[in-house]
Each structure stands twice: as structure tokens, then as C-alpha cells.
Amino acid sequence: MESFTPLTAALGGSLIGLAAAVLWLGNGRIAGISGIFGQLLPPAQTVVWRLVFLVALVAGAWASSKLFPALGVGGVEPAALVPPPATWGVPPPVWLIVAGLLIGFGTKIGNGCTSGHGVCGLARLSLRSLVAVLVFFGVAIITVTVTGIV
């Protein structure tokens, strides 16, 4: 967290909120990534806007990293995946697969992900989203405490 700056955090949060508002007001859709991605396979009738949104999401992150490399996590050093705890003896590919499956399962049973509940749900004053965000943060605190990974 030594590279945290309030200005870039506020700018990033504002852009995320603006993107969510534009999607909601312009398309009547919530910017929950798990819902957007989850409706690609099997294809829903509204595939085009979902693909455009996801491609723009990745392209925007890539372009920002190239245009403003010092704004990334850790300054000018490229971000890296967090390795599994050495004492656990889990190979990194297994660590990533298990983490991805847990995230997918959690978003399915939680009816959404952190972006859908945290950004859009809280903005709509959804009680279900408030409970979900409190659970997300509680589990994150416990995970950091247990694994020691920050």
C-alpha cells in the first residue's frame, strides 16, 4: 500500500462510477462484470453490448497502463500475481484455478460480484447489495489475516 495516492484513487473511482452510470442510464443495465460475462455463454440476445463493454474494459486498462505507467500498483514496476503461500505447497497454476472457481461459485450464489453489488447496488440503495458488500469485506479481512498476504 505504499504506492497509494488519494488523487489517483479518486480519479479511478470517479471513472468507474461514470462508466456504471452511463451503462445504467444509456442501456438500463447494471455494470456487474459477472452478470455481463456470465450471459456470453450460452449467448444471450444482447451479446453485442456485452462484448463491447468487456473489450472496452480490457482495452481501457491496457491503454491506461501504457499511457500512465507510474499510476499502476507499485509505481513503474509491472503488477504481478500474488504467489501462493510457500508453506502451503500449492503450485501457482492450481492456486489460480482454485481461486477462479471459488470466485465464480461465490458470484453465482451471491447473485453478483463486487462491481455489481459494490458500485451499482449500493448506488441504488439495495439492502441485498449492502449485505453482500459487508460479507465481501469481512471475508477479505479474514483471508488476509489467515494467509498473511496483503
Tell me which amino acid residue 120 is.
Answer: C
Query: Which secondary-structure segment (H or E) carries 97?
Result: helix 92-109
* Sequence ranges of the domains in the chain: 1-80, 82-150
For residue 130, what pLDDT is reported? 94
Q: pTM higher than 0.85, yes or no?
A: no
pLDDT digits (tens, 9 = 90+) for 29-64: 888 888 888 788 777 678 888 888 889 988 988 888
For residue 72, what pLDDT is reported? 62
Q: Are 53 and 23 in contact (CB under 8 A)?
A: yes
Nearest Cα neighbor of 115 from 7, 39, 13 is 13
Q: Are 110 and 119 in contact (CB under 8 A)?
A: no
